[in-house]
Structure 1
């Protein structure tokens, strides 16, 4: 295939079309907002680039040569394709076209991502937004940095800070309390705040040993002055809630993991440990879908907070989570 020499100028092609359509340099200049001299120069430059006369010039008129008519047909095709390319690029720039890969797991994937995707599907129906379950925090950060995913949702417990790798932007989204959940018959009034040490003698269910959730739990208990009796481990909060409902033990869980099972009650703590949710993306990534997706996730988080205020047996004057400033 012969390589394109790059001698053609889009502006010159548009001028060619206008001169042919109007029949003169002067009329074309008025339509285009150029001077007559500028139009003449553009046509001359195009003829020089192509190596052929495009117009036959008479004393007071000009008309296209066979080469000029042929080039006009080519210009029609080229300019239509350029217009399509411009429209498509505008769509990519606005976020209505393009793709974004989200990496998420756990409670944010269950509570926030579906609500956000619902909004995005209505606003950016032609965009390709996909979700992949990536459970490990380090794996998720690396997945974003290596370009395997574009946007990750990362958890950070208050007593277990996470690393900030170079090139990875962590934008805060949600700050949530950790609350104690127990079987409903053992509960006090929903929303009442009690110290964590009140549960020192209980049997506990917590996340897998070595996980950020488990480390945060142990640090919290240590600060409250007791060593917890741990009977079961799971990183699946659905499993944890099931065990709690069957009175196997109690658990310390983030607000997003509460659910709404009437067989379970929760107890707010006077000095609760907390968990932050960040969205992570590459500093070099200029994908316009990033911003609109983060906005949709923020709206989903606001919906969740509103829901928790009245989802339980009593109205919560203070919500169990809050939106973090960008």
Structure 2
């Protein structure tokens, strides 16, 4: 097994075709097929199957694909880290953001990176916190954002901000603060389990002995906001997630009190994997962007110190 074979293998799986992979890699298709036969012979297992819907990985091929991505990523990181000693940070950086964090921070982050690190290729992936956690554990991200992180052996976590949660209401139904017990009887629109927001609401229900009614489970932030705006029900979100709709009068918001509901956003990176110069530079910009967003009121939240844990 060598790096070229792994690159060929990943391209075939991604493209679902030997022909398309050969075109993408700019190599002859017979050479591609020859390398895959040698790889399968060396490993003693079939990696790819051909069918009417194209080329698919076997179960062994799927596992190799996961390892190959990590191996090639580490090789690229090592190469970039050494090259960066001679100049400005360069190379690829991949970060994972949850939907609500991406909504407020992704655009200013990309703008700042493009201006300050023109040689860095930034990839921002938006996903649920559970998926980001999986990618961090698999070492597929340079860093990512997670909520309410406890100590972990697999990654390092730096607290960033703490957000208060609001009851998001249809337009015209705003008002004063609302106690958690007053959520009883309201048709709630929430993500399905497991999801940090759903967990936080259900924990509040247990703490206050409140029976909540989850009328709709849906895992898309745009869809949740649209349903609330149409009067289908209510949701629980940080105000930053609905800032545009709230200011436009499309939804209303009431701060949840007694108890206050909040969650902490942590910046997490794989433990034991040296960060490239490019990843370190992007991370520093991200932290600065977050501080600027909070200080200017664009991201209504409270900054957390490095040694501060969520309460």
TM-score, structure 2 length as denominator? 0.63
Which whole-Å CA distance do the structure 1 matches of 2:137 and 2:215 have between them?
Answer: 37
The answer to whether the aligner puts 1:290 opposite 2:282 as a matched pair is no
Deviations 1:50-98, CA, capped at 9 Å, x for gaps: xxxxxxxxxxxxxxxxxxxxxxxxxxxxxxxxxxx9x954356x5x223
Q: Structure 1 residues 193, 303: closer, same or farther in 2, change over 3 A?
A: farther
CA contact (8 A) 1:113 1:297 kept: no
Q: Does 1:153 align with 2:140?
A: no
CA distance in 2, matches of 1:176, 1:136: 16
**Cα deviation, residue 303, structure 1:** 4.1
Cα distance in 1, alignment partners of residues 173 and 216 from structure 2: 19
Give 1:248 shift.
1.2
Q: What does residue range 63-82 of structure 1 map to in structure 2 within 5 Å?
A: none
Helix, strand or coil for the counterpart of 1:260? helix
How is 1:30-109 mapped onto 2 (pairs within 5 angstroms)?
88-91=83-86, 96-109=89-102
Tell me what 2:301 maps to: 321
Paired position in structure 1 for 2:238: 254
Q: Please point out which of 145, 148, 170 is paired with 1:183.
A: 170
Task: Give the stretch that moved more between structures: 300-309 or 104-113.
Answer: 300-309
Cα distance change, pair 142–259 in 1 and its aligned pair in 2 (3 A): same
Cα distance, 1:237 vs structure 2: 1.9
Instruction: State how far apart, in whole Å, the 2-side matches of 1:177 and 1:109 are.
Output: 17
Alignment check: 8 A CA contact 1:208 1:233 kept: yes
Q: For residues 99-144 of structure 1, give each alpha carbon's deviation from its aligned partner in whole angstroms, at most 9, with x where no partner exists.
A: 311122311122212211111110011112212334352x423423
Per-residue deviation at 1:222? 2.7
- Is the 2:187–2:234 Cα contact (8 Å) retained in structure 1? yes
* Gap change, CA 1:253 and 1:91, over 3 Å in 2: farther
RMSD (Å), alpha carbons: 2.7
**Which residue in the other structure is 1:276 paired with?**
264
- Kept after mapping to 2: 8 A contact 1:91/1:97: no
Indicate whether 1:126 and 2:113 are aligned.
no
CA spacing shift, 1:289–1:115, aligned 2, 3 Å: same
Name the counterpart of 2:136: 144
The answer to whether the 8 A contact 1:116-1:296 is kept is: yes
CA contact (8 A) 1:203 1:250 kept: yes
Equivalent of residue 193 in structure 1, options 156, 160, 177: 177
- Does the alignment pair 1:224 with 2:208? yes
Q: How far apart are the structure 2 equivalents of 1:208 and 1:227?
A: 17
Matched, 1:236 2:231: no
Gaps of 5+ in 1: 1-84, 157-161, 310-318
The C-alpha deviation readout for 1:132-185, integer Å capped at 9, x for no partner, is 334352x423423433221122122xxxxx454324111112211111110121
Distance in 2 (alpha carbons) for counterparts of 1:118 and 1:135: 23
Moved more, 297-306 or 164-173: 297-306
TM-score of the superposition, structure 1-length normalised?
0.61
Q: What is aligned with 2:104? A: 111
**Which sections of structure 2, spanning at least 5 residues, go unmatched?**
1-79, 307-311
User: What do the CA deviations read for 1:293-319 (whole angstroms, capped 9, x no partner)?
Assistant: 23322333234335547xxxxxxxxx8
> 4+ residue runs of structure 1 moved beyond 6 angstroms?
none
**Distance in 2 between residues matched to 1:187 and 1:163, nearest whole Å:** 34
CA contact (8 A) 2:103 2:241 kept: no
Q: What is the count of residue pairs matched by the alignment? A: 222
- When residues 231 and 167 of structure 1 are mapped into structure 2, their CA distance, relative to the original with a 3 A threshold, is closer
